[in-house]
Chains A and B, each alone.
Chain A
């Protein structure tokens, strides 16, 4: 039986979003010329969440896009049937600072695919990466610029970020397949 351990509550996630929103604005000296691009699927509501947090204190409406990385993955034949979701960029990303937003950073292969996908759509001046959880085990030289929480994990564990839009709850859990010693 898989067991779940709660890593972050909805309230923890809200605080992290608020902190990362401030970090993004601080690093980029304001919110002008920013585009937040969520990676399908759970990165998209997180990107929207960040945008509304930035608007709350900076009074700038940062455009939010969605990016599907499936067409750029290098591991398709070893994965289950891929489900394509829409890619929508509300503005041209040329000469913009794009912040890619995802739920979990793991091997780095999704981020690599996202970079290739983004480069086919335009030429941003800079690309940054924000993630809710960094669980380690990178297979590529990729790191996140903004991290909600670093979680040391074993490869047979899973980190699930749940968001209200899809899961009716905001929380982050660690799923362990084996029995956890008490």
Chain B
């Protein structure tokens, strides 16, 4: 089970070798900082004409994606390949998952084939925790589990923010949209809170995450507040992150209408002008242009959306490198 321990920054502490990455709720500020520094070094490799270094030669990384994804799967595959790991992709179709093999048996099979690390995307919250408990020699990285967590997306978002703001300490980050169903928002909230940023969650009251709130409705994380009114929330923001709205939410009765959602919670030029000058606009993708984000903004000057993708590869390189090297101490 994941424990929701209070997130505390532990500056100056050394980085304990970690085997799995399941969420950011157990990351300290210093561990995030070290990882982002490594990711910066990896960006240099991405900029070379020959984008390959030999550091993970002989390591086997399996991407096990039981839910559709383009950017996250390709990003992990590219990250592994640039570090010279052998990357094997297993999807929902064409694998034994289609024949009804259980997740555990699939993972045990991959472990028996000596996979060093499994990157798991799964529709059910908690699936990576289940694997991490049962695998003895294979590491697990959560690439998105249901409505729960997406730690590498949050880390690449933190990297993108830090690159532009210099530091996350004291930055105001507004996360707009369906926070309740968003694993991106949830992992970002933990990572941002640990890094000392202040987070404003904004969206329809039906889409606020109850597990991040104490009874009575106050947020349980430090520096996290709720503000349903986007015009008020966006005031003086350093970063505005808007989330993908899933169309089926309207059918589930959580939205009055798409038009009303767009009118009240779409990030557009007029609303961005209330944020700080030069504020960053982010979106984890894939976008519904014209719904949660105005098309003119999606490809405008404040948009970090493509840089988020580039940083994602560098960040995942740093993460794979850290998980697959240097975990044993010299005798």
Contacts and interface: CB of A to CB of B under 8 A. Distances in A.
Interface of A: 68, 70-73, 76-88, 116-117, 120-121
Given A86-B40, A86-B44, A77 B327 contact: yes
28 contacts: A71-B45, A71-B55, A71-B321, A72-B53, A72-B54, A73-B55, A76-B55, A76-B325, A76-B326, A77-B326, A77-B328, A78-B328, A80-B326, A81-B14, A81-B327, A82-B321, A82-B322, A83-B37, A83-B38, A84-B318, A84-B321, A86-B41, A86-B44, A87-B41, A120-B48, A120-B50, A120-B52, A121-B48
B34 interface: yes
A120 B326 CA distance: 23
Nearest to A116: B54
Interface residues of B, number: 27
B326 A79 contact: yes
B52 to A, nearest CB: 8
A87 B43 CA distance: 10
B37 A80 contact: no
A117 B52 CA distance: 11
Contacts of A76: 55, 325-326
Nearest to A68: B41
B306 to A, nearest CB: 22
Question: Closest 3 CB pairs between A and B?
Answer: A84-B41, A76-B325, A84-B38
Contacts of A88: 44
Interface of B: 14-15, 17, 34, 37-38, 40-42, 44-45, 48, 50, 52-55, 83, 318, 321-322, 325-330
B100 to A, nearest CB: 37
Given A71-B45, A121-B48, A81 B55 contact: no
A81 B45 contact: no
A43 B90 CA distance: 44
A81 B321 contact: no
A4 B137 CA distance: 41
B324 to A, nearest CB: 9
B115 to A, nearest CB: 16
Contacts of A116: 54
B37 to A, nearest CB: 7
B329 A77 contact: no
Contacts of A82: 321-322, 325-326
